[in-house]
Amino acid sequence: MKKYIYIYSPSGAVRDKVAFKRGIKRLQTLGHEVEVDVDALTSHQRFAGDDATRLAAIHRAADSGADVALISRGGYGLTRLLPDIRFKKIAKAIDKGLQFVGMSDFTAFQSALLAKTGAITWAGPALGEGFGVEGTPDEIMEACFDDMLCGQGEGAGWRQARKSVANTSKDIATNPEDIRAEGSFDIQDAVLWGGNLTVLTTLLGTPYFPNIKGGILFLEDVAEHPYRVERMLTQLLYAGVFKRQKAVVLGQFTDFKLTPHDRGFNMGTVGQWLRQAIKAPVLTNLPYGHVQTKVLLPVGARTDLSVNSRGALLVWGHV
């Protein structure tokens, strides 16, 4: 289905222009019309333009009349802009059918928007790392992107076992016993929210942190040592966030380096620590994060979660 996709840069400067162009070409090959924001390739220090430039780009994306507003890349930059983003304007554009897609630094935007307006956005690929890869982009990611565009395939399933098709990466739960620890259960009509753990916890204690009760919280991160991941999880724990959730779903935690000092401390022990620290079930292995194979997830949408010994299934209504 041909869609109109608006590419803009709210965070880091695009350095890999080859991947950027490849991504645009790929979207065009898939049959879409692509418009590139005038400042998508602007650079100021490490940012895609100064604060005013990136802010204007976000608001232009909202005004674009496009079907999808897709970030060029993540990085760092959205946190600085939060006080000046016109969230009501963004929410209105979403009401009219615009779907914002992104991840990583974009978690700041998505969480703040959810906190301020309740509007739904999509946790999913950025242009460069998603569609601009060398060779063919990941099949599952593209299929999920297409599902989002069509409003079909309203859910995402994955296996709780370790050798899941979608598990192309290190898994937070390395112990298969551990993975199956939660048994079978069903959760209905819970708000799905979350994203990048570091970016999300950076909003704790601020007006931009969503106050979601009875939700399903999903988390991923990249290049964060397990002890840092655990330290951030303690913050969510002590802030009372976990006790307000019906389930916690851990995605992919990748690209960190263990050291000889760790001596058995790893993502697996972090997962075990979390399980004994909170009452809500902790699922692992969600194919989402800084990996090629990932699903798209509607942040803020009412979602059902069904878990049994074979796997887990998230199902949302039409977004």
Q: Taking the mean position of all CA atoms in its chain, how far away is CA 145?
A: 13
DSSP per position, 74-93: -SS-HHHHGGG--HHHHHHH
Number of residues that bind a second copy (CB under 8 A): 36
- Residue 46 or 310 having the CB closest to a second copy: 46
239 binds a second copy (CB under 8 A): yes
State the minimum distance, in angstroms, from the CB of residue 197 to a second copy. Answer: 12
**98 within 8 A of 66, measured Cβ to Cβ:** yes
Query: 87-95 and 51-63 helices cross at what angle (nearest 10)?
Result: 30
Active site residue 290: yes
Q: Which span sits near a second copy by CB under 8 A: 42-50, 147-155, 189-197, 301-309? A: 42-50
Q: Which of 41, 53, 133, 227 binds a second copy (CB under 8 A)?
A: 227
Q: Work out how close the CB of 278 gets to a second copy at its nearest, in angstroms, rounded to a whole number.
A: 13
Residue 211 binds to a second copy (criterion: CB under 8 A): no
Contact range with a second copy by CB under 8 A, out of 39-47, 96-104, 144-152, 159-167? 39-47
* Contact flag: residue 264 with a second copy (CB under 8 A): yes
Instruction: Considering the complex, state which of residue 10 and residue 137 has its C-beta at the smaller distance from a second copy.
Output: 10
Which residue carries 């005013």 as its tokens? 52
- Contact between 256 and a second copy per CB under 8 A: no
84 near a second copy, judged by CB under 8 A? no
Stretch touching a second copy by CB under 8 A, among 95-103, 125-133, 228-236, 285-293: 228-236
Smaller CB separation from a second copy, 25 or 231: 231
SS3 193: strand
Q: Who's near 233: CB < 8 A, 6+ residues apart?
A: 197, 270, 273, 274, 277
Q: Of 202, 252, 272, 284, which one interacts with a second copy (CB under 8 A)? A: 202
Nearest-angstrom CA–CA distance, 159 and 89: 39
Q: Is 35 noted as a catalytic residue in this protein? A: no
CB of 73 to a second copy, least distance (A): 11
How many CB atoms are located within 10 Å of the residue 116 CB? 18
DSSP string, 216-275: EEEEEEES--HHHHHHHHHHHHHTTTGGGEEEEEEEEEES----GGGTT-SHHHHHHHHH
Q: Does the protein bind a second copy through residue 180 (CB under 8 A)?
A: no
State both tokens at 11: 């965070």
Report the residue from 21, 59, 60, 80 that binds a second copy according to the rule CB under 8 A. Answer: 80
CB 289 within 8 A of CB 194: no
* CB-based contacts of 136, cutoff 8 Å, min separation 6: none
Nearest to 90 by CA among 113, 57, 64, 123: 113
Stretch that binds a second copy, among 22-30, 113-121, 161-169, 224-232 (CB under 8 A): 224-232
Binding footprint of a second copy on the chain (CB under 8 A)? 12-13, 15, 43, 45-47, 76, 79-80, 82-83, 201-209, 227, 230-232, 234-235, 238-239, 261-265, 269, 273
